Amino acid sequence: MQAVKGEGNNMGEKVLNVAVVGAGYWGKNLVRNFATADRCRLKYVCDLDEKLLAVHKRNFPAVEVSKDVDEVLRDEQIDAVVIAVEVPSHFEIARKSLQAGKHTFVEKPLTLKSSESRQLVKDADERGLKLMVGHLLEYHSAVTYIKGLIDAGGLGRPYYMYTQRVNLGIVRKDENAWWSLAPHDISVICYLFDSRPVSVAARGQSFLQEDVEDVVFATVKFDDGKMAHIHCSWLDPHKIRKMTVVGSEKMVTFDDMQASEKVRIWDKGAAIKKDTEAGYPEIISLRFGDIVIPKIAATEPLALECKHFINGVLDGEPIRSDGGDGLKVVQVLEAGQRSLDNNGEPIELEYYK
Ligand SMILES: NC(=O)c1ccc[n+]([C@@H]2O[C@H](COP(=O)([O-])OP(=O)(O)OC[C@H]3O[C@@H](n4cnc5c(N)ncnc54)[C@H](O)[C@@H]3O)[C@@H](O)[C@H]2O)c1
């Protein structure tokens, strides 16, 4: 892996020199987090919009600002580039960043095409650079808790899960609700299940703008028989950020709209009982047990995500949402889009062909 060039801090620790490219609606959160993170120095904020740059300069006077991404990439002191520009520009800027030898963090989805994501993974591997995708939910402490629970067998065998990510707005023009909202759900489903998605069937409808779906209902099937359903929309009266995982022994829900007590573990299940000795037919017994609400620390997921990137680069630790993870999510998005374009026909993922 490439060594970082930054000087140490006053505690003698290595420090990562970072540039954030794209400092708009979401990028400003990345600017705030990288400007205040340990073992990190935010050297540049880069955006085409001078007014935005002036705001960031006022908030963080020590940061240099620039409208020119090439100028930032030429700076040899910069170890890592964080990209939060509009999705169609992800590939071009991320490729330039990797070619300039910078560890690269790209907002979700990694790219608009899986061929582009594959190229970025190759570029990073060839140069020994870290490539990370902003799959924010993979860093949410509630998701970390649920992952531990599932991996420890706390739900029994996971059967299926479903997610709801609906609200009124933000209505995008250059991407539909599937590409804008579902990356979070797809990434967290793949993370929790640790299984390979094999097919996607998606139906949606465009009401506000031609050929830009406002609402999508999608079903993803996995190679080991698991199933997931995703409902995403920016045209809905409710603000729901919820997921439910159903296992053979227990079930778990995660409601991100709750201020606290976001996770509930339901001791509920169904089992087929056979009493062959007595000669009775099979019966399905239902179990209605306790609901447990675990105590989970509430840390800003974005702070944890940024810390993970900094530690990954400085300490050479593996990146959870790495380029391969980003590629998988883009493959599911692409298959879902093909299904949307073909009236909900199930589409097999390309890597199976
Ligand atoms: N993780 C999350 O929860 C989350 C939430 C919202 C958006 N996002 C992602 O963040 C990214 C940005 O979305 P947004 O809503 O902030 O968009 P935005 O339009 O508000 O911001 C994009 C910014 O990039 C700047 N930009 C564009 N091209 C540039 C270039 N060549 N050089 C420098 N700056 C350039 C624009 O001037 C703009 O300020 C997208 O990838 C989006 O998917 C992630």
**Which tens digit of pLDDT belongs to each residue from 80-110?**
999 999 999 999 999 999 999 999 999 999 9
Residue 223 CA to ligand 1 centre (angstroms): 34
Does the global pTM surpass 0.85?
yes
Share of the chain above pLDDT 90, in %: 88
pLDDT for the residue numbered 1: 59
| Ligand 1 first shell, C-beta below 6 A | 21-27, 46-49, 52, 69, 84-87, 89, 107-108, 134, 136
CA distances from 335 to 162, 247, 328 (A): 18, 26, 11
pLDDT for the residue numbered 74: 98
Q: At 106, phi and psi to the nearest 5?
A: -120, 135
Nearest-angstrom CA–CA distance, 258 and 128: 41
Give mean pLDDT, residues 134-144: 98
Nearest CA to ligand 1 atom 28: 85
Residue 176 CA to ligand 1 centre (angstroms): 15
pLDDT for the residue numbered 284: 87
Question: How confident is residue 5, by pLDDT bands cut at 50, 70 and 90?
Answer: low
Asked whether the predicted pLDDT for residue 194 surpasses 70, the reply is yes
For residue 160, what is the enclosing H or E element? Answer: strand 158-168
Share of the chain above pLDDT 70, in %: 94
